[in-house]
Amino acid sequence: MKKTLLASLGLTLMLSTSASVALAEEANPVPVAKESTLTSVLEYNEQEPNDSFEQANYFFIGDAVIGTLGKEVQGGWEAYDVFKIKAFRSNEVQFIIEGNKYPDSWMELTLYDSNGKRIKRSKNAQYSLNADLEKGKEYYLAVDVPGLQYGGNVFYYKISTEVIR
């Protein structure tokens, strides 16, 4: 009896969800190219603390994350953010960082492998980083500001990604 009731409820939920999606698509068609690489599917804020590989926030290719550097957060100085990435496909990915730009300082992106070995770093004042990610491997993406001083500039940023190939 319970199994029949649960199966019936599950089927009803699935059908109502499918119908809602179909109606929404019909009412608001979204033109998407067949080979489209949508960026920023989901946008969310970083969760503190994320100042080390052990505390890294998960970050998914295709999403966007908003963060802050250069201010006091939870009693600590916020000078470095780390995000953990798992590659579900082998792709060349471009990481793009947008945010505050000051003449005397800039944000850098650094990609590390799962053992903490640096793979690649963005160049001075270059607000993007391209990297080949291998399927099944984990990576860390760090955001920092070289020479960031306590009480100096505050950096608000957004990291997004684009699959290049």
**Higher pLDDT residue, 151 or 61?**
61
Domain locations in the chain as residue ranges: 1-30, 43-163
The model carries a pTM of 0.73
Other C-beta atoms lying within 10 Å of the C-beta of residue 118: 11
What residues contact 127, with CB distance under 8 A and at least 6 apart?
96, 97, 98, 106, 107
- Side-chain-side CA neighbours of 46 within 13 Å: the count stands at 26
pLDDT at 38: 44
pLDDT at 40: 52
Tell me the per-residue pLDDT of 41-77, one tens digit each, with 9 for 90 and over.
689 999 989 999 999 999 999 999 999 999 888 777 8
Fold of 43-163: Jelly Rolls (2.60.120)
pLDDT at 104: 78
**Higher pLDDT residue, 110 or 99?**
110
